Structures are given as C-alpha cells and as structure tokens.
Amino acid sequence: MASMEADGPQAPYDPWWAVRRRISAAVAAAGVDPEIERLLLVPERVLEVAVPVRMDDGHVEVFSGWRVHHNVARGPAKGGIRFHPALSAGEVTALAADMTLKTAVVDIPFGGGKGGVACEPGRLSISELERLTRRYTVAIASLLGPDQDVPAPDVNTDERVMAWLLDTMDMLQGRSVPGVVTGKPLSVGGMPMHAGATSSGVVRCVRAVFAATGRPLVGARAVVQGFGKVGGPLAFLLQSAGMRVVAVADVAGAVWNPGGLDVSALAEHARSSGSVAGFVGGTPIASTDLWAVEAELVVPAALEGAIDVDAARRMTASVVVEAANGPMTPAADEVLDRRGVVVVPDILANAGGVTASYFEWAQGRQGYAWDEEMVADRLARTMDRAFGAVWARAQALGVSLRDAAGVVAVERIAAAITARGLFP
C-alpha cells in the first residue's frame, strides 16, 4: 500500500476513510475471505434524524442526530452517544466501525454502533439538554433495546444523560428495561467503576506494554493530551503507578513540569477554572509543542486525528497508548512505525469502557448487582487477555500492534459472519 505521508499541506482528516483503510489492511493480513471486507466496508444501517427542541426562550432549534450500526454479527450494537458541534455522519460511522473491532478484540458479545447529536452542549441549559436527549432518544428508539443496540456515554455525555435516555425508553415501552443503556447512575442500575473503566484499561495496557518491551515503568515520564473524564483519572492512575506526568493539555492550553506535575493539584485547578491552563505548578506551553516534550510515554485522550505527521515527527516518546478513539492519522501512524515507536491502538487500549459496559449490561439482564471487587478483577483479566492475544499475534506475524489488533478482531468477526451465513 502506498505511503500516506506527505510533506505538503495535509488534507482534512477523514475518520471513516481511515477506518476503512485499516479494515482492508486487517482483512489482507488475516487472510480471510475477501467477501468479509466487502461486508465490513459498508455500515449495516445509518439513521439520520432531525431533533427539534423548544429552547428556554420559546423558539425551536432543530439539531441533526445519528445512530449507526456498523456490524452486528457478534451481538447487539454497542457504542456511545456523543454531543459535539462538529459531529457528522462520517465520524459517527467511523466510530461505529471502531466499536465493531474493539468489542471483537476484547472478545465480548457485541457488534459496533455509535450515535450522537451535532450540538454545543455547553451552550444549552440543563432543561434544554434534557429535552434534546429525550427527543433524540425517541427519534432513534426503533433501533434501541437490550438485544438490538445498547448506548453508553461518550464525549460530552454522562450518567445523567444516560438516565434520561433510560427513563425515556421505559416510558415508551411501559416497563423497566435496565439493559437498554449502560453508564447509568448507580441509583438506577449502574455499575461500580464504570466511569473510570476506560482509564483503568488504558493503564493496564501501559503496564503490559512496558513489561513486554522491557521498559522500566517507575520513574518513566508521561505526556497526556486531554484532561476530561478519561484523561483526568488516567493522569492520576499513571502517577499512582510510579510514572511522572510531565505535561498535560486540554482544549484551552497545556502545562509542563519536567519534574512531574502534581496531578491532584492540577485536577483541583481544572475543576475550579475549567482548564489546566494557568496552573501555577507548571510552565505554560503551546498545545502544538506537547508532542515534543521529552517523555517515554504519550497518551492521547482527546478527539480524533490529534496526532498528525508533524506531531509524529516531533514526538520523543517511544510508546504511545491511545486512550482516545482514532487519535492518530494513518500518515502519522506510518511515521511512528518507521521510527520504531510502539503504538497500542485504540481498539485495544481504551476497550476498558466497553468491557465495563458489557458487565453492566449483563448485570441488568441478570437482575443481580456486581460488587466493585468483581468488576475490577474481571476488567483486569479481560484487558490482560486481550493484550496478550494481540501481542502474541504481532510477534507471530512480525507486524505492529495496530495491525495485530486488526487481525485478531477481523478473524473473530469473520468467524461469526461465516457461522451465520448470508440471509436469505
């Protein structure tokens, strides 16, 4: 396949194109039937809906929303709902495809789905946000259900939004359906540790890749891009594991301290000010300079396409663990691969969240509450088993962890598709 790196101006990042490219590469490397590729390069269903909302001042605003099922051969569609002003059908479709691969890598019985609304939630009042959530839920309700499609939180959504979704579905169906959504509050059937499961899974992968490559973890320097509901807990967990978190960035700025940032104090500053910018315990740096900070580990925990060719060329770290979905462009991936940087891909690294969602879904189906110890133990075992399978495949094939994760996922999806056959 031709190199995607270019020295001139880079085209806008297309996440759906990037995922399709990775699926094709995984199918080729896995050596499965080419018909599997044809099935995986087209989403099974894409629902686009209008979401009219009466605003607090009385006027009606119409937002665009989507729910996409990429492939459900292995089980009900599973994937989050995000509220973001730049959201598009292509991005949602790419994220749904990522979920198809991700659920297969950790070997849980789900397919891939994703959804969201193009809106700026920070500009909505709580009542407007609730009306938007409920109207969006009604619009996509025909796709939802414990055996069809199980949403969860994603960018700019949380357990409160999931509770509104749950209540709306219960009202529509006239009965309690606790398995219809995950990431709910504990008071309505949520799962202990769900909120921090993605971060916990990322740190599990950090430990595993450092051990597998013979790198010392304690004292190693880490850079974290993003300080939200994944990046915030993640920075604390990395520090607790003995690493020095030397730089952190969010949408408003970045701070650096070569001796290590005080993550607890940084979190308190971010809570009070809304950003890591201005933290007195670190030196302000340009967000674009984050990647050039001297470190052993980089963890992108923000949005798609954050690491481009320029960032990849400037990066000093020898390990990247992707906490965000699709944080690296394919061209940047090629640069890091040639430089020998070890990249633990998103479909493995951040799968702790969907794994915890699986546990919550099972809890809802069973009607039996799981305790925190059970969740932590099973999450750790699932992530360790998934990393082991991907690492072994990478060693056997002599390929990157991203390619190996794709092969593991595609082989499992292909097995399900083949076992089912093609209807009619």
pLDDT along the chain (424 residues), means of 10: 48 86 94 95 98 98 98 98 96 96 98 98 97 98 98 95 98 96 96 91 98 97 95 96 97 95 97 95 95 97 91 97 93 96 97 97 93 95 98 96 97 97 92
- Pull the structure tokens for residue 16: 């759906």
Q: Which amino acid is at 360?
A: E
Q: What is the pLDDT of residue 195?
A: 83
Specify the residue for token string 């640069």: 335
Candidates 78, 114, 184, 229; catalytic one: 114
CA distance 152 to 150: 7
- How many Cβ atoms sit within 10 Å of the Cβ of residue 123? 9
Q: What is the pLDDT of residue 189?
A: 95
The runs of H, that is alpha helices, within 285-400 are: 309-314, 330-339, 346-349, 352-366, 372-397
Q: Is 216 exposed, middle or buried (0-12, 13-18, 19+ CB in 10 A)?
A: exposed
For the chain, where do the domains classified as CATH 3.40.50.720 start and end?
197-349
Q: What is the pLDDT of residue 132?
A: 98
For the chain, where do the domains classified as CATH 3.40.50.10860 start and end?
44-178
Active site residue 229: no
Asked whether 198 and 323 are in contact (CB, 8 A), the reply is yes
- pTM attached to this predicted model: 0.93
Q: What is the pLDDT of residue 131?
A: 98
CB within 8 Å of 268: residues ≥ 6 apart: none
CB within 8 Å of 319: residues ≥ 6 apart: 206, 209, 210, 213, 215, 296, 297, 298, 341, 342, 343, 344
CATH fold of 197-349 reads Rossmann fold (3.40.50)
CA distance 96 to 352: 16
CATH number for the domain whose boundaries are 44-178:
3.40.50.10860
